[in-house]
């Protein structure tokens, strides 16, 4: 099973060159009471932006997948967001660890209030690993779009500096945690939060960089 998703992604990329195959990405559904379903227009808008600007061939409607489902292996990229509590069961922990070791990628985007819970739960998955802050020089900020100061600030929240953290397995980033930025709100339809268009564009460009990095690392 190890690196199975990387094998799938290799053949998907071959298909992308001829626009014959679409890749699907997913929203991760978790337990604990947090609103995993927050920002419902975010991923569809990001997919549309990537398909138009990166010439990817991602299926327009993201799926919803539960943390403990073996079907997670069908998705090379899953996105987790929300405001509140997150709880991973023992089954969830084993399945998520298996998924990430097999080549999958998890993007966690703090929608405000997620931090203490997601750090606790990811420690269940990788007790011996810590989130490592990514410097502005990291390649994820230097894909098609250049972010010279690192992760952009989309929403103020507690007025803290936005930070991006990675978890790595054998040098490969398997999880990106974006904190105090709220990219997902910036990806949403413009009328949802009323963000200025330059702010939304920064969020979408950073999201496109994440997709580009994941599909090419």
Q: Is the pLDDT of residue 6 over 70?
A: no
Confirm if 46 and 187 have CB atoms less than 8 A apart. Answer: yes
Write the burial class of residue 44 (CB in 10 Å: 0-12 exposed, 13-18 middle, 19+ buried): middle
pLDDT digits (tens, 9 = 90+) for 140-191: 999 999 999 999 999 776 778 999 999 999 999 999 999 999 999 999 998 8
Domain that holds residue 37: 4-216
Q: Is the pLDDT of residue 204 over 90?
A: yes
Q: Is the pLDDT of residue 90 over 80?
A: yes
Query: What's the whole-model pTM score?
Result: 0.91
pLDDT digits (tens, 9 = 90+) for 23-80: 999 999 999 999 999 999 999 999 999 999 999 999 999 999 999 999 999 999 999 9
pLDDT digits (tens, 9 = 90+) for 106-132: 999 999 889 999 999 999 999 999 999
In the chain, the number of structural domains is 1
**Sequential DSSP letters for 41-92:** THHHHHHHHHHHHT---B-SS-EEEETT-GGGGG-SEEEEEESS--B--HHH
Quote the tokens at residue 145: 């779009």
The CA radius of gyration of the chain, in Å to the nearest whole number, is 16
Comparing CA positions, the residue from 57, 33, 187 lying closest to residue 109 is 187
CATH number of the domain that 39 lies in? Answer: 3.40.50.12140
Residue 17: how many CB atoms within 10 A of its CB? 10
């Amino acid at each position: 099973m190890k690196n199975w998703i990387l094998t799938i992604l290799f053949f998907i990329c071959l298909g992308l060159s001829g626009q014959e195959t679409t890749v699907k990405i997913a929203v991760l559904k978790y337990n604990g009471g947090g609103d995993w379903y927050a920002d419902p227009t975010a991923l569809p808008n990001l997919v549309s932006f990537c398909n138009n600007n990166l010439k990817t061939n991602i299926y327009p409607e993201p799926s919803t997948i539960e943390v403990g489902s073996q079907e997670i292996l069908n998705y090379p990229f899953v996105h987790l967001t929300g405001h509140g509590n997150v709880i991973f069961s023992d089954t969830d922990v084993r399945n998520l660890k298996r998924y990430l070791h097999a080549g999958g990628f998890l993007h966690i985007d703090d929608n405000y209030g997620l931090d203490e819970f997601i750090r606790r739960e990811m420690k269940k998955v990788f007790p011996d690993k810590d989130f490592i802050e990514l410097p502005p020089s990291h390649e994820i900020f230097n894909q098609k779009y250049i972010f010279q100061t690192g992760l952009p600030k989309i929403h103020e929240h507690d007025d803290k500096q936005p930070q991006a953290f990675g978890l790595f397995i054998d040098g490969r980033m398997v999880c990106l945690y974006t904190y105090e930025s709220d990219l997902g709100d910036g990806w949403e339809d413009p009328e949802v939060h009323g963000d200025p268009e330059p702010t939304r564009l920064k969020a979408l460009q950073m999201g496109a960089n994440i997709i580009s990095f994941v599909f090419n690392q």
